């Protein structure tokens, strides 16, 4: 058995997964790194598996989880991320989730997994944004009840989900400060997920 934390990165071949791998590789606390993804970019031996929720009970996935202490989920498929978290929790594997775009039902299910294992879920890992979110809560708590609040965001053409996890996080902080229920209070002008990244022939309107 390898010394140190046995880390598995789901989405290891993606943009954020690649960055997480490089950080983990330089961390002495990490004893072993494995990965789950649809593709293999040559970083580490990757378990090439479908990210469809129905395929997550495969023998290969179970083998991966049996050799994992912490599952880091950082890809762009919230349905798969929620299913992977549930599978990991059944095995007692700790889970860190950076994926966004979850429904309120998915979020409730993920939080319920804390009864089985350690779960850390956030919409933005930036220290500055975390401080900003808490600052927004303080500001919102001091605004009069009739004050109108809106969040306007702009993203690069590769952004697939709307609203972004960061915007959703800020909206929840505002709701908490004003005693509102997010499921009822948060209304999005655009929500959902784009199927593909826009190419050069597409004019995007946010």
How far is 104 from 183, CA to CA, in rounded Å? 7
Residue 15 CB: number of other CB atoms within 10 A? 12
Active site annotation includes 75: no
Between the alpha carbon of residue 124 and those of residues 45, 131, 153, the distances in Å are 28, 11, 15
Return all residues near 102 (Cβ < 8 A) that are at least 6 apart.
Answer: 78, 81, 82, 110
The question of whether 155 is a catalytic residue gets the answer: yes
SS (H, E, C) 133-172: HHHHHHHHHCCCCCCCCCCCCCCCCCCCEECCHHHHHHHH
Instruction: Measure the CA–CA gap between 85 and 73, rounded to whole angstroms.
Output: 8
119: which strand partners? 95
Catalytic residue among 159, 181, 183, 184: 159
| The pairing of beta strand 161-162 with beta strand 5-10 | unpaired
List, in sequence order, every residue forming a beta bridge with 95; answer none if it has no partner. Answer: 71, 119
First-to-last alpha carbon distance for the chain, in angstroms, is 50
Of these residues, 75, 86, 155, 156, which one is catalytic?
155
In angstroms, rounded to a whole number, what is the distance separating the alpha carbons of residues 177 and 139? 8
Active site residues: 155, 159
């Amino acid at each position: 058995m390898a010394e140190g934390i046995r880390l598995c990165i789901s989405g290891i071949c993606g943009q954020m997964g690649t960055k997480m791998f490089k950080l983990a590789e330089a961390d002495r606390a990490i004893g072993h790194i494995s990965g789950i993804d649809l593709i293999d970019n040559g970083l580490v031996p990757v378990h090439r598996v479908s990210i469809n929720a129905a395929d997550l009970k495969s023998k290969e996935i179970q083998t991966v989880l049996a050799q994992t202490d912490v599952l880091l989920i950082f890809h762009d498929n919230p349905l798969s991320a929620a299913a992977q978290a549930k599978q990991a929790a059944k095995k007692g594997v700790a889970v860190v989730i950076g994926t966004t775009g979850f429904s309120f039902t998915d979020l409730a299910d993920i939080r319920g997994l804390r009864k089985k294992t350690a779960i850390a879920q956030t919409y933005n890992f930036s220290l500055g944004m975390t401080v900003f979110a808490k600052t927004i809560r303080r500001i919102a708590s001091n605004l009069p009840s009739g004050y109108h609040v809106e969040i306007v965001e702009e993203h690069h053409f590769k952004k697939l989900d709307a609203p972004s996890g960061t915007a959703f996080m800020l909206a929840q902080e505002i709701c908490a400060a004003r005693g509102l229920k997010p499921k009822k209070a948060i209304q999005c002008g655009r929500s959902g997920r784009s199927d593909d990244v826009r190419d050069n022939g597409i004019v995007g309107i946010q």
